[in-house]
Chains A and B, each alone.
Chain A
């Protein structure tokens, strides 16, 4: 077991800043990141790399666990999958900086191989998995999409951008298509796309700019309540003005995009704020009053104003307006790709008396496959809101069960055995 005063989960801008800040105050700090590299999304998509690299320079003295997946949170203990073992990290305070993930919204053909988010497209580019053998690629999106299409084209991929108008990020010579995406088609893998003007385009890789939703599975598994705030990307866990999560566990904090999607710089400031509040509670922060106040100001200054206001209102206890999501998808569209559950299947279950996502999960097995709602949760909740005519924030969320990532049985079985566990086993 690894022990620390502050454990930080996630090494994007928020987690990096939180860990650096904790370390600067002399706290024994552990930073846990599921990828092999630090920086999170900031290293993948253009624009925030410098910020992340700057923060990484301040990590001296922080114990950094890379390629380490936090799969569960049990009080102040984190269960971590590391080198095929389960290790536990126990800390006096924990900062969850798990970020947000771009989530594809269903359209006909969205589950075909080769259909992905912009984030996944960038990751493929950075991971060197892109070459002239790929494609042709179509990127659907605005400015960020233009940048990706440009990069793909530089890598030798025949690429085009699908956008209402040509953005400045799209290099001369990379074609631009007007119109709206209607469907992706192919056998197993995407082969072509259909646009609303009826035109069909050959396509072997389709990147669709999609909304980013906070990755809330860890706070939810810890029992923290969430509210739905579209301005912040969807369901967000409730935090108080010190970034402490509501719920059963004290000294559990959240920071960065998991508390509401915002700019990378705001995420870093939010990480700093959460760390400072945690340090204060642990009695480790000199001059806490003014430091926390300073962090608040900087967070407000780096946030998008609407998002800052939405976050502050939530922290003050206000609940966001009810939103009924209208999500028109045809009956044959698959909403749960892991199990292959269609809109028609879900509708049949509703007619038989299912009401909640968990009811749907039991009867259609949606959400209970490999992704455990991580990929299909947002689409299914949006669809359910429209189908029932109930505001999405009033629907009950599916149960958040550990492990929040798949863990080989052998890695659970080789978990360290504590004295307490041995006593249990013999009781």
Chain B
């Protein structure tokens, strides 16, 4: 057994923001846990630092979103700077359809209790002078912002370590076997025994889920990120396709196809340059694309997935990681989740739940 991992009650698979947040929440409750990752700290690197409110968020989710954002300033006082900026966010419309849908969304979100509003073209450009005059209007949300995912992970790892958390990076191939009263994990750095297991690895854990015969309705999306050199403040707000980090780099995001990333790179660049012409001269210094596993219905999955096994996975990883951490810690210590988290339990996918009308997705009529 690798040093420092003896007597660990809980093993967490995945050292991305979610896994590290869970480790921190458990460490604060004095529950000994160890985080394992195939890669180094931060996991798959497919995490954007931008807070994301899904377009079809309902009241329940809107509440969760607001709470999630509110966790950040407090966390920063606890563990040190994580590059948190609450810049507010704009979702501009470039077509009549965009406008109609955007206004409907703003209405829906306002009804759900969020302080959001629709801006005219001139208002939007007044707030964000770099925007293209082509836009027809924009939705504004005061909650949006960003953190530095790398800094967040580093701070969480160090904070968790100081109060008893353990981390094993670059573990090589992992196999997990259930055994009486727990799990045996074989890794490239030795064997680890744990009573409980938390799956927090997103894209990297299908293998583990197969080994444990856990099935979750996830699908793969391919994201692409372009990063520019640090430039003087160029964006005041976050955008669905871009934000500027505290270090001055502009992160540009978009979808990628599965294959060669050249065309997606050009397309994502074109879309960003069209929306934000002021970024045209910024030089792109790196780009990467990769898959992520996201719940098919778009909502986080957090809860129990079998005997002593738990899962935490979300499309809005950075937005929700702190809440997911708290939720898992709560479920483990109290054996149940608060009602606001309970609706995101994997139980929502089981046939019986759906038949009993307990599938919150059906009631709210969202489409994946």
Chain A interface (Cβ within 8 Å of chain B)?
72, 74-75, 77, 79, 86, 88, 352-356, 358-359, 362-363, 365, 368-370, 372, 399, 401-403, 406-410, 412-415, 417-418, 420-421, 424-425
17 inter-chain pairs at a CB distance below 8 angstroms, sorted by A residue, are A74-B262, A352-B161, A353-B167, A354-B40, A355-B40, A362-B40, A368-B286, A370-B285, A399-B288, A403-B287, A406-B285, A407-B284, A408-B281, A409-B252, A409-B283, A413-B270, A421-B266
Interchain CA distance A425-B257 in the complex, whole Å: 10
Complex contact B169–A415 (CB within 8 A): no
Q: State whether A401 and B247 are in contact (beta carbons under 8 Å apart), knowing that A75-B260, A363-B41, A413-B280 are contacts in the complex.
A: no
Q: How large is the interface on B (under 10, 10 to 19, 20 to 34, 35 or more residues)?
A: 35 or more
Interchain CA distance A369-B284 in the complex, whole Å: 11
Instruction: Tell whether B42 is near chain A: CB-to-CB under 8 Å.
Output: yes
Q: Which of A354, A370, A409 has most B Cβ within 10 Å?
A: A409
Instruction: Tell whether B269 is near chain A: CB-to-CB under 8 Å.
Output: yes
Give chain B nearest CB distance to A147 CB in angstroms: 35
With contacts defined as CB atoms under 8 Å apart, how many contacts are there between chain A and chain B in the complex?
120
Q: Which residues of B contact A407 (CB under 8 A)?
A: 283-284
Instruction: Tell whether B279 is near chain A: CB-to-CB under 8 Å.
Output: yes
Q: Which residues of B contact A412 (CB under 8 A)?
A: 226, 265-266, 269-270, 273, 284
A-B contacts besides A409-B279, A409-B280, 7 pairs, CB < 8 Å = A362-B153, A368-B285, A372-B286, A401-B288, A409-B284, A413-B266, A415-B269
Q: State whether A372 and B285 are in contact (beta carbons under 8 Å apart), knowing that A86-B266, A409-B273 are contacts in the complex.
A: yes
Instruction: Tell whether B17 is near chain A: CB-to-CB under 8 Å.
Output: no
Top 8 A-B pairs ranked by shortest CB distance?
A412-B269, A413-B273, A406-B283, A410-B280, A359-B40, A415-B266, A421-B263, A413-B270
Complex contact A365–B247 (CB within 8 A): yes
Q: Which residues of A contact B281 (CB under 8 A)?
A: 408-410
Q: Which residues of A contact B150 (CB under 8 A)?
A: 362-363, 365
> Residue of A at shortest CB range from B158?
A352
Give chain A nearest CB distance to B341 CB in angstroms: 29
Give chain B nearest CB distance to A89 CB in angstroms: 12
Q: Which residues of B contact A77 (CB under 8 A)?
A: 260, 262
> Residue of A at shortest CB range from B267?
A425
Interchain CA distance A402-B167 in the complex, whole Å: 31
Q: Which residues of A contact B280 (CB under 8 A)?
A: 408-410, 413
Give chain A nearest CB distance to B157 CB in angstroms: 7
Instruction: Tell whether B28 is near chain A: CB-to-CB under 8 Å.
Output: no
